[in-house]
Chain A
Amino acid sequence: MAIKSKFTKRSDGRKFDEAREMDAKVGIIPSADGSAMFRSGSTIAIAAVHGPRILHPQHMQNPKKGILRVNYNMMSFSVDDRIRPGLSKRSQEISKVTEWALSPCVDLEEFKGNVVDVFIQIPQADAGTRAAGINAAAMALAHAGIPMKEMASCTAIGKMDKTLAVDVSKEEEDFSEGEGSTDIPMCCLSRTKKISLLQLDGKISVDELKEAIEMGKIACGKINEIQAKALKEIE
């Protein structure tokens, strides 16, 4: 990068466009209709899919199509300072944006009055938990045999001072020199190449953001390959 930045190299030796070592496995929870694990570096997410099944209470049913319902949660011991178990505003928001990220992929027209429940748990966190959760959940949906139009792959682009980097770690997320750190989680769809999740907090110019989105699309493509490979390995 030509511009002088205070963030010159990554402490784990990665290139700026290089994601952490990733690992994916499908079918980890036998009692679920579909399940998967996704790991990126030290961040691990597991996801289970139950359904389609009749939605209760009945008044929540959609008579036109099935609904997707996501529940994201971090285990209390997944981070340095224990998280109080139970609903937090953060986990509720992430559940909702995950639902929005995955909705365009699934075709629930046939499942009137039904729900497809997705449960995501984070046993170990080192930033990028919503991304890992979405990657695991997308695989779990495919594993459950839910009709899908395309796959969803998610990563977080970071901007540390003036440098863009893919799949940031907690340490990078906490970078405070210069312009500090900007976090941009984004989810790309495999076929239409649309973006189904986009969030940002920090400080970034419009041009830098466009560059970050391009980087994210390439990174998501690589995640998609790992997801596809894991899905083909199902016994």
Chain B
Amino acid sequence: MAILPKIQKDRIIEYLKEGKRFDGRKPEEFRDIEIKMGVSKNAEGSCSIKFGDCEVYCGVKLDAMTPFPDSGNEGILMTTAELSPIASPDFETGPPRIGAIELGRVIDRGLRESGFIDFEKLVIKENEKVWAIFVDIYAVNDDGNLIDLAGLGALIALAHAKMPTYDEKEEKVDRKAGLSKDPLPLDRDSMSFNLSAYKIGDSLVLDPNKEEEGSADYRISIAMNASKDGDKISSIQKSGEGAITEEDMNDILDLVSKKWDGMKAEVNKFVWGK
């Protein structure tokens, strides 16, 4: 978390009391979202995603692997996040710290539980070979709310990814043959991404920048999940030392549901082209 002068934090809170933010946004207003496809031609699918100045790269790679012993008829999903020093003076080199670990695990849970990925269709040969999907998330410039960028970026990279070519004889991926034209087995009716509410002073804020994020008492990240029988929640994570009142909990659920309703059609259109 950024080292933040107390006076700046006080001012952020004071402004929010009147429903104002330094950059002129309303408390629930997101920054402009900018997405670029294909940041690496060697990835099965990749994108960069920006909310204002905050930027994340997401890449998807697939490999044919031995399944886990207790789930021989299911593919594998591994989601990892890296907070490298390129993105912020607050990040350090070395093994992943709690921030990166939590980020990867929360995005993983949302994707896994949403039903967006059809794990049974990732089986090549039962109990012997399955596809493993690696979703890797790299912060490039941290300006707050990395978690929402990561969730949306992962969704988009997955949706645009193509299956590699599998060599049946050698029983491994044929990299020379390039990617096939087949998309990953995804259920577009179960799409999911994270929306996070931050409690700053007495206010609830969406998509904070780094200074606002550093002033927050807690964050609740909710993976909203489209579903044929009404929208669902597929994961929640509360982070930070603050505690949630009942009233705030209801407000957060309303705020996030509303935002999801507003964003989902747009995201759907961008991802699937309709």
A residues contacting B by CB (< 8 A) are 89-90, 92-93, 96-97, 99-100, 103-104, 182, 184, 189, 192-206, 209-210, 213
Q: Does B11 contact A (CB under 8 A)?
A: no
CA–CA, A201 and B109, complex, Å:
6
In whole Å, how far is A152's beta carbon from the nearest beta carbon of chain B? 9
A96 touches B243 (CB 8 A): no
Report which of A97, A194, A209 forms a contact with B243, defined as CB distance below 8 A.
A194
Given known contacts A92-B98, A203-B232, A195 and B238 CB-to-CB distance under 8 angstroms: yes
Q: Does B245 contact A (CB under 8 A)?
A: yes
CB interface residues, B 235-253, toward A, < 8 Å:
235-246, 249-250, 253
Given known contacts A189-B243, A193-B246, A194-B245, A202 and B234 CB-to-CB distance under 8 angstroms: yes
CB neighbours of B236 from chain A (8 A) = 184, 198-201
B240 touches A100 (CB 8 A): yes
Pair count A-B, CB < 8 A: 92
Report which of A103, A195, A204 forms a contact with B233, defined as CB distance below 8 A.
A204
A209 touches B239 (CB 8 A): no
Taking chain A's interface residues, is the majority helix, strand, or loop, or is none over half, making it mixed?
mixed
A195 touches B235 (CB 8 A): no
CB interface residues, B 54-113, toward A, < 8 Å:
96, 98, 101-102, 104-105, 109, 112-113
Residue in B96, B232, B236, B243 with the greatest tally of chain A CB atoms within 10 Å: B243
In whole Å, how far is A145's beta carbon from the nearest beta carbon of chain B? 21
CB neighbours of A184 from chain B (8 A) = 236
A198 touches B225 (CB 8 A): no
Q: Does B230 contact A (CB under 8 A)?
A: yes
- Interface size on B, as a range, is 35 or more
Given known contacts A189-B243, A192-B243, A201 and B234 CB-to-CB distance under 8 angstroms: yes
A203 touches B225 (CB 8 A): yes
CB neighbours of A96 from chain B (8 A) = 98, 102, 239
CA–CA, A193 and B232, complex, Å:
26
Report which of A93, A100, A198, A204 forms a contact with B101, defined as CB distance below 8 A.
A93
CA–CA, A104 and B105, complex, Å:
24
A195 touches B249 (CB 8 A): yes
Given known contacts A93-B98, A198-B236, A203-B225, A209 and B253 CB-to-CB distance under 8 angstroms: yes
